[in-house]
Amino acid sequence: MEQPIDLSPSAANRVATIAAKQGRDPALRLAVEGGGCSGFQYRFDLAGEIEGDDIVVERDGVKLVVDSVSLDLVRGSVVDFVESLGGASFQVTNPNAASGCGCGSSFSI
């Protein structure tokens, strides 16, 4: 069965590194909120609690946690960690996004 969302090996490695430094479980929460320059924006945080309606996928011992409402907006996406001359960040490749902004953290449907 295909996962509803995926975490790249690079993102899993980065989450594991951050969580180890903070002494926390390696679990990244992705949420979608209203706002940003395109209508919706992504929010990343280490997941504290996993709620009953959360979707959890796992790669290399690292969990990606998404609430059921946000999942409707990011289904089929891949969460990656990208390092470039401009900096390093988590990025979402979202097949549902009709457009996005230059910062890569907001999108519209």
Q: What pLDDT sits at residue 63?
A: 96
pTM score of the predicted model: 0.84
Would you say residue 1 lies in a domain?
no
Its domain, for residue 35, covers 6-108
Region for 33 from its dihedrals, namely left if φ exceeds 0, alpha if ψ lies in -120 to 50, beta otherwise: beta
Would you say residue 15 lies in a domain?
yes
Q: What pLDDT sits at residue 101?
A: 53
- Name the domain count of the chain: 1
Q: What pLDDT sits at residue 8?
A: 96
Q: What pLDDT sits at residue 84?
A: 81
Q: What pLDDT sits at residue 107?
A: 47
CATH number reported for the structural domain that contains residue 43 in this entry: 2.60.300.12
